[in-house]
């Protein structure tokens, strides 16, 4: 018998059955891995969707000619986003095609940043910024609506919490990234930034787990659903598409008005107020909160941070962005949400923070001397609290609206018999309240300019001329 004679099939089967097989992951392990992928996916969605907005604001001085008001960049960076948040939820008919949305937002952001990098004329750069802004607004709408798809398994809170955390991190990452890239010049720095949006489709198609990866909360449903293969996903998507062609209920304009009307006072107004006050502070008051350069012998820690009077505003922005990140991450680290009846509290606190900081700039609280830095610790604490209020208002408003059912918002239609309609209602509700924060930011950009001028003039009248010298 030759040495390479093959083992008979029955003997081969018998021998192979004796070999140890690799243990398959338990349902608990698979579920844990799926949750990790879900968390990371939504964190990346929030980070990448908002990071271009921060980069553009950070690069405002480099993007416009010296004599051009920098507020024009802020306006071009927020107005198109507001248009997308206001118009899109009402214009959309039927089921959301998430894959198309993802590619649309990605390409719009990419080409917008390429236009900013490739052209030096102000009009073309504003066009590019507007394209990226519209994409950012539509992207935020998309990811918030996508989080509601995990409602049946109770994982929508996880997706929403990590998305909010990612948007908070975007402030720190975007400012830091532009600090590194600006040394390469506007063309190269913005050009490199243009590749960031492609992280979104990569995450959506390769990392984000399907909703079937999680066991539904309904006791009548199976306790565990295995992770589907790519082929199974493809079949499911095709079947879903064919099914939608047969029947797909659509919310009418009247239905949407019934859905959004109870949300106005409960969610939209608090978001509008907190962001109006917040961005009035950031754009109108914070630039005037400047003090002399501290003496190392008297204030060694502060003197290590502040080397020039121009360092105060970046410091306030860093403090603000850091505490926004912390507060927007509260749900993702397991901190309970604010009860819905207290959602107005952050906006009320924000109003008093605005008044206090404005008075500090106008007159001085700790010291009225134009040569004193005694007010710096107070300003630090108030701006940290400002970031906390803004972040908590954002994440808790979207959390509570995502947890409401159609019955709690007064829809006069029994949606329980139609899962597709119920899904569309959840998507519309969470998408409709984004108008509140964006419109507040836009209004603040209009208020901030005269506010800054008035406060600088008031400081000059009491002999403090630092603001005028910047």
**CATH code, 33-217:** 1.20.1250.20
Asked whether the beta carbons of 365 and 378 are under 8 A apart, the reply is yes
Distance CA 175, CA 108 (A): 22
Write down the pLDDT at residue 70. 67
Tell whether the torsion through CA atoms of 208, 211, 213 and 217 is positive or negative: positive
Distance CA 87, CA 141 (A): 11
452 Cβ contact list (under 8 Å, min separation 6): 283, 284, 285, 287, 288
CA distances (Å), 135 to each of 18, 189, 196, 437, in order? 57, 20, 13, 16
pLDDT, tens digit (0-9, with 9 covering 90-100), for 155-198: 888 999 999 999 999 999 998 898 888 888 888 999 999 999 99
pLDDT, tens digit (0-9, with 9 covering 90-100), for 212-259: 888 776 544 444 344 444 444 444 444 444 444 445 567 888 888 899
Asked whether the beta carbons of 397 and 433 are under 8 A apart, the reply is yes
DSSP string, 188-244: HHHHHHTTGGGHHHHIIIIISPPGGGS--S-TTS-S--PPPPHHHHHHHHHHHHHHH
For the chain, the 3-state helix, strand and coil shares in percent, each to the nearest 5, are 75, 0, 25
* Strand extents, DSSP E, 15-158: none
Write down the pLDDT at residue 410. 42
Write down the pLDDT at residue 99. 95
Q: What are the domain boundaries of the chain?
A: 33-217, 249-470
Distance CA 47, CA 426 (A): 23
Write down the pLDDT at residue 469. 79
Question: Biggest alpha carbon distance in the chain?
Answer: 108
**Residues 116-125 as b or e (16 or more Cβ within 10 Å = b):** bbeeeeeeeb
**Residues 395-405 as b or e (16 or more Cβ within 10 Å = b):** bbbbbbbbbbe
Q: Which of 316, 311, 308 is nearest to 284 (CA)?
A: 316
Write down the pLDDT at residue 24. 65
- Please give the torsion angle defined by the CA atoms of residues 190, 194, 195 and 201, in that order, rounded to the nearest 10 degrees: 150
Q: What are the two backbone dihedrals, phi and then psi, of residue 365, each rounded to the nearest 5 degrees? A: -105, -60
3-state class of 2 per DSSP? Answer: coil
Tell whether the torsion through CA atoms of 391, 393, 394 and 399 is positive or negative: positive
Distance CA 310, CA 326 (A): 26
Segments of the chain with pLDDT less than 70: 1-25, 27, 61, 66-70, 217-249, 405-417
The DSSP 8-state label assigned to residue 268 in this structure reads I
Encoding tokens for residue 305?
């941070």
């Amino acid at each position: 018998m030759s040495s390479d004679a093959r083992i008979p099939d029955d003997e081969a089967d018998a021998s192979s059955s004796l070999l140890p097989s690799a243990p398959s992951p338990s349902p608990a392990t698979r579920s844990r891995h799926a949750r990790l992928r879900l968390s990371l996916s939504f964190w990346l969605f929030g980070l990448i969707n908002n990071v271009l907005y921060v980069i553009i604001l950070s690069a405002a001085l480099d993007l416009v000619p010296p004599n051009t008001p920098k507020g024009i960049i802020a306006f071009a960076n927020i107005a198109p986003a507001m248009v997308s948040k206001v118009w899109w939820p009402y214009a959309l008919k039927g089921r959301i095609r998430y894959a198309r949305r993802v590619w649309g937002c990605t390409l719009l952001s990419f080409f917008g940043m390429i236009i900013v990098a490739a052209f030096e004329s102000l009009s073309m750069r504003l066009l590019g910024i507007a394209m990226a802004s519209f994409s950012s607004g539509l992207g935020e709408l998309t990811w918030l609506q996508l989080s509601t798809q995990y409602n049946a398994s109770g994982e929508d809170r996880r997706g929403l919490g990590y998305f909010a955390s990612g948007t908070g991190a975007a402030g720190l990452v975007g400012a830091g990234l532009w600090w590194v890239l600006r040394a390469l010049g506007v063309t190269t720095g913005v050009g490199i930034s243009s590749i960031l949006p492609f992280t979104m489709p990569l995450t959506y198609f390769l990392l984000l787990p399907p909703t079937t990866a999680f066991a539904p909360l309904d006791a009548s449903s199976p306790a565990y659903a295995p992770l589907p293969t790519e082929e199974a996903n493809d079949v499911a998507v095709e079947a879903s598409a064919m099914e939608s062609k047969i029947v797909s209920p659509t919310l009418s304009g009247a239905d949407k008005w019934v859905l959004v009307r109870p949300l106005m006072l409960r969610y939209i107004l608090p978001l509008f107020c907190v962001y109006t006050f917040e961005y009035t502070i950031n754009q109108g008051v914070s630039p005037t909160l400047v003090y002399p350069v501290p003496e190392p012998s008297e204030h060694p820690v502060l003197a290590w941070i502040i080397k020039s009077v121009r360092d105060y505003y970046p410091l306030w922005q860093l403090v603000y962005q850091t505490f926004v990140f912390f507060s927007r991450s509260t749900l993702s680290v397991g901190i309970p949400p604010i009860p819905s009846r207290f959602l107005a509290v952050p906006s009320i606190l924000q109003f008093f923070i605005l008044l206090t900081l404005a008075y500090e700039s106008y007159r001085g609280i700790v010291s009225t001397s134009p040569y004193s830095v005694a007010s710096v610790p107070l300003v630090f604490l108030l701006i940290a609290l400002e970031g906390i209020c803004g972040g908590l208002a954002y994440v808790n408003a979207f959390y509570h609206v995502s947890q409401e059912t159609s019955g709690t918002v007064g829809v006069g239609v029994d949606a329980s018999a139609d899962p597709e309609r119920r899904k569309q209602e959840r998507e519309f509700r969470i998408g409709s309240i984004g108008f509140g924060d964006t419109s507040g930011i836009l209004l603040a950009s209009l208020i901030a300019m005269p506010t800054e001028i008035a406060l600088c003039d008031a400081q000059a009248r009491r002999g403090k001329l630092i603001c005028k010298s910047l």
